[in-house]
Structure 1
Amino acid sequence: MEVIQIQICQVCGAQGAHGNHFGAISCRACAAFFRYFCKPCRLKRCFNVGMETSNFQYNRDSLFSRNVPTSLPKFVGRPEVVLFWDAEKPNQKSYIDVKFLVQKASEIFGQDFKNVYVRDSSLKRLSMGLKESEKKNLDGLESLSTINQSVVSDTWQYYFLTVATWLMHFEEFQKLEDTVKLKILETIWHIWATLDRHCATASYRRSHPYAPKTQIISRRGVLLDLTKVQFDSTWLSDYPSSEIAYFLRQNSSDHFDIIGALLELEPSDMEITFMLAQLSFEYAGKRCQGEILKLTEQFQKSLANDLHNYYVKEMNMPKYSNRLSKMMKINNSIQKNLWEHRPRMEVAKIFNIIKIEFSHPEMFRDSGFN
């Protein structure tokens, strides 16, 4: 008769050891304790009989593995869009000269805006300046099927000059030197345009409740259906538009429904004006620092006082913190999206994915094109 030898656990001495675990003969209980929550007294005994943490085995589950499958982009260490990028290949960039825009803005700054409307509130003057640029008939919108270089250039020009004119309704801004005015304008025009497009789209959807949610509106009277419009990127990159979309500035509503929040809030003209000014001046201060930071903080303080007076005296709303909080959440979401996009654009520059070069590159920083 054959005698079967029963193994003994080297850790606890129990009979019926399960096998070799982590370098020692042990039962299931000791093996489990060692792997997950071994107490100091037991841990010392485990180490004494030869158990080692280096013997842990991972990813033994056939249905789940922490290992990322090896792919060509992962192996090479490049995104798929630049997988076959040739560093030695000459890259010819398209030069975009915007000196004429800067010149036109300087001419606007030279105009006399001293007798503009009421003088008791800077926020009111800015609000009236905003109304001047609005397209009166939203039913007569121009629907575009293709976005090409001409459309993009017209949009740049419209918003750059619109913001220049709007800023001149702000008396504190008028007192600045022209070089400082230009610096602020070149910094804020595109982020101002971002919020303005959201506000215009929300206003359009409020008056057209059955309009598709894929439609967006701009202040200059252009309607785009994101599911139908085609983007001609040949002037921007040698790569197809579907591949460079990742590197271009993403929609500000990716993480937060800005248009939905605006529809719920239903901001007045004064509130929209404050949001545009606060977003613009806070962004300019963070980006430029120094003297401009001090100026923009003063601007924001002055406009905040005007907004307080508007709520308390005109709207009879002494408790307005909830509305203000919602407004700031919208503005912060736009800024967050802008900061998150920066690393993508840096990658696009390194690999020459974007082939345009500007005469005034700082004017297009964070715009999604530079």
Structure 2
Amino acid sequence: MESPCSSDSLSQSSPPSGVTCKICGLTARGYHFGVLACRACAAFFRRTIVMGRQKKYKCRGKTRQLKCIVSSTDRYQCRLCRYNKCVKFGMTPENVQFNRDSITTTTAKRDDGSVVNPRTSSLGNRRTLVDMAALASKAREILNEKSPVIDAATRKNEHVGDCESRAEELEEAAESESEMEVLKRMPVRQMFVLMEKQMIGVAKWLIQSPDFRMLDSDERYQYFKTVWNTWRRFERFEMSLKLFGESAVMIKKFALSNKQITTIDFEIDYSELTDSPNDKITQMFRESTLKLFDQLAKPLLELKPSSIEMAYMLSQMSWQIAGKQMQGKVIEMSERVSDELADNLHTYYLKEELRSNYADRLVRLMSVVNSVKKLYLERKETLELARLFEVFKVDFSEPEIFDS
């Protein structure tokens, strides 16, 4: 049987209750790179090795004539000292999987890579039903991951580290621009394959959040269905700006995936979904796409948000949209989480950025979040009208997945 030290994944057997991470002192979640560690420290070590960051880190304590203490009590730990401590306790670069597929799935797929069942059922009037049971099952499997009960203090300490880890993980998979394929046209079936992979990525991002794990199974799935598509677009625009800079705004260059680029003349072939002319369907969504470039890409280009700020915006957006849609327990949690996110960002600005006057920047960050929420509602209305007038000739067994 394979040793737990031979993989960068979580050990199959959970550590005894109360065992702490050797690096920072939080609850250990298994063996990572041969050492009992929490998810955040394991992800930090893997990112450091894969992206070659160890040579770029500088000791924060040395520049401030202070001694660094790597501990969960310090929300913004010195990265060089944290990395050195990982090595000291036995984490080794040899165990890092450089070509790990972050969205590997055991679900049986069609030749085109989709987990959507190709079988359709007649609904009358030339309409068909697309069975998405396999995809829903895969998403639920990820979202229902078991985790220990987390007390309030531990949850608060984990929150910022997890946010930063999740945001920085998004950068790992991106190819350089020279290695990416420029697309002019894509069949809608292929677009769904791409979106399915990104759905799984969002599910994996969400389940790492201590607050999200406090929801029950049905609440997690409803939350996921509500936010995943808006989350995906937000993240893709931010990644496009990292890769292409001003070109993302000036010529609408967009990272559709980590391997594919589109520009403003890109179009999707919707013929499998509708009998309407393709240019009519393209035009129906073009206005919202242009608004995203204007109201999201431009401000992000000016702000150049850090990974912490990006995680803050994604989290605020997700909880606010889900809270308004789901109401009840979720809206109550969203208010608490929003306050905690603001407190954590305040600490980040004071300790990491050494910036006390950040009110204007915070207003600009929230302006971006509010623009995304507004565009989410507009796009939702467009899809509702399309459904009302039966623009599309198919229905999905999980219609809410594509409501945004």
- Letter of the structure 2 residue corresponding to residue 153 of structure 1: F
Aligned to 1:93: 127
Amino acid at match of 1:165: K
**Which residue is equivalent to 2:239?**
200
What's the TM-score once normalised by structure 1's chain length?
0.67
Question: 1:112: Cα distance to partner?
Answer: 5.6
Gaps of 5+ in 2: 1-123, 149-153
Aligned to 2:198: 159
TM-score (norm 2): 0.62
Q: 1:103 to 1:274 in 2, by over 3 A?
A: same
Paired with 2:377 and 2:213, the residues of 1 have a C-alpha distance of 29
Q: CA deviation at 1:251?
A: 2.9
Q: Does 2:228 match 1:189?
A: yes
The reply to whether residue 317 of structure 1 matches residue 355 of structure 2 is: yes
State the Cα distance separating 1:118 from its structure 2 match: 10
* Aligned-partner Cα distance in 2 for 1:336–1:249: 16
1:126 is aligned to 163
Flag the 1:297–1:209 CA change in 2: closer, same or farther, 3 A.
Answer: same
* Secondary structure of 2:270's aligned partner: coil
How far apart, CA to CA, are the structure 1 residues paired with 2:287 and 2:311? Answer: 24
1:287 partner amino acid:
Q
Q: Which residue type is aligned with residue 141 of structure 2?
A: E
Question: Can you list the C-alpha shifts for 1:47-81, whole angstroms capped at 9, x where unaligned?
Answer: xxxxxxxxxxxxxxxxxxxxxxxxxxxxxxxxxxx
Q: Highest CA radius of gyration, 1 or 2? A: 1
Change (3 A) 1:190 1:212: same
Amino acid aligned to 1:359: S
Aligned AA (2:345): L
Structure 1 residue 120: Cα displacement:
2.3
CA–CA separation in structure 2 for the residues paired with 1:210 and 1:362: 30
- 1:233 and 1:307 map into 2 onto residues whose CA distance is 42
Deviations 1:238-274 (A, max 9, x none): 1112112344474354284421211111100110111
2:96 is aligned to none
Distance of 1:346 and 1:183 partners within structure 2: 18
Judged with a 3 Å threshold, the aligned counterparts in structure 2 of structure 1 residues 353 and 129 are, in CA distance, closer, same or farther, namely: same
Q: Would the alpha carbon gap of residues 348 and 279 (structure 1) be closer, same or farther in structure 2, given more than 3 Å must change?
A: same
CA RMSD of aligned residues (A): 2.8
* Secondary structure in 1 matching 2:262: strand
Partner of 1:179: 218
Equivalent in the alignment of 1:345 = 383
1:123: how far off? 2.7
| Map of 2:180 onto structure 1 | 141
**Aligned residues between the structures:** 275
Q: Which amino acid in 2 is paired with 1:304?
A: A
Question: Structure 1 vs Structure 2: percent identity of aligned residues?
Answer: 26
Deviation string, structure 1 residues 99-122 (Cα, Å, up to 9, x no partner): 2222112222344666xx997241
After superposition, the Cα gap between the structure-2 partners of 1:154 and 1:210, relative to the gap in structure 1 and judged at 3 Å, is closer
Do the aligned partners of residues 362 and 244 (structure 1) sit closer, same or farther apart at CA in structure 2, a change above 3 Å counting?
same
Q: Is the 1:96–1:357 contact (alpha carbons within 8 Å) kept by the matching residues of 2? A: yes
| Structure with the larger RCO, 1 or 2 (CA within 8 Å, 6+ apart) | 1
Answering whether residue 266 of structure 2 is matched by residue 225 of structure 1, we say no
Residue 304 (1) aligns with residue 338 (2): no
Shift of 1:205: 2.1
1:278 counterpart = 2:316: yes
Output the CA distance in 2 between the equivalents of 1:187 and 1:193: 12
Q: Distance in 2 between matches of 1:261 and 1:282?
A: 20
Paired letter, 1:278: Q
Q: CA deviation at 1:91?
A: 3.4
Match of 1:260 among 283, 298, 317: 298
**In the TM superposition, what is the alpha-carbon distance from 1:193 to its structure 2 partner?**
0.9
- Give the aligned residue type for 1:355: K
Letter matched to residue 93 of structure 1: R
2:281 maps to which of 239, 244, 247: 244
2:168 partner amino acid: K
| Residues 1:156 and 1:261: Cα distance change in structure 2 (over 3 Å) | same
Please give the secondary structure, in 2, of the residue aligned with 1:316: coil
Q: Any gaps of 5 or more consecutive residues in structure 1?
A: 1-89
Q: Deviations over 1:323-350 (max 9, x none)?
A: 1111111121222223234443333223
Q: 1:252 to 1:328 in 2, by over 3 A?
A: farther
